Amino acid sequence: MSTALLALLSAYVLVLAVELPDKTMIATLVLTTRFRAWPVLVGVSLAFAVQSTIAVLFGRALTLLPESLVAAVVAALFGLGAVLLLREGFSTADESGEDAARQGVKPVTFLRSAATSFGVLFAAEWGDASQLATAGLSARYGHPLMVGAGSLLALITVAAVAVFIGHKVRGRLKPKLLQRIAGFAFAVFALLALVQAFA
């Protein structure tokens, strides 16, 4: 398997695991209780495209630094992501919170619905674990376009799940378990990068 394909698949799988139990899915689900599905999907997808680009550019900038320093920064990014995910995954917060009740679709324009969805998700993704993962993988693999594409595809997949079948899926999945699995995956990536930094 080529490094570029590995970068794409790694980004897709890791970001998907991180975002399924995350506020991204919940926020998108709540937005679909207020607006029609297509404008929400368009708005959140555009927000994800911008955030993935920012994360890839940050990761790409890291590659201009010495290799051992890059590995240390990547380890720190993944370490931070692991801490955030594991803290949330092992928190005692109630998982059984109810989704917002569907009040019916409000007669709001496509543009306004999409713009609201864009704004909510754009703000929610700053410093998110998926953004850290995208930056870290971009620096690690040196294939920013493939990492960005994998990350964006994963984010759009999560948004689509939330928009179309989110209320059903959310009741079947255990968000805390997914957060723990993703947290441990981040910890493994952090350890590998740390070993590379001091090798």
Q: Where are the domains of the chain?
A: 3-91+118-198
Q: Among 56-70, 102-116, 142-156, 160-174, which stretch is predicted with the lowest mean pLDDT?
A: 160-174
- Model pLDDT, residue 152: 95
Cα 161 from Cα 181, distance rounded (Å): 20
- Model pLDDT, residue 100: 38
Residue-wise pLDDT for 2-12, tens only, equals 888 999 999 99
Say if CB 27 and CB 118 are below 8 A apart. Answer: no
Say if CB 152 and CB 138 are below 8 A apart. Answer: no
Residue 177 has pLDDT above 90, yes or no: no
> 89-93, 111-115, 117-121: which has the highest mean pLDDT?
111-115
Q: Is 127 helix (H, G, I), strand (E, B) or coil?
A: coil
Residue-wise pLDDT for 66-112, tens only, equals 778 877 877 887 788 778 778 877 887 655 443 333 444 446 789 99
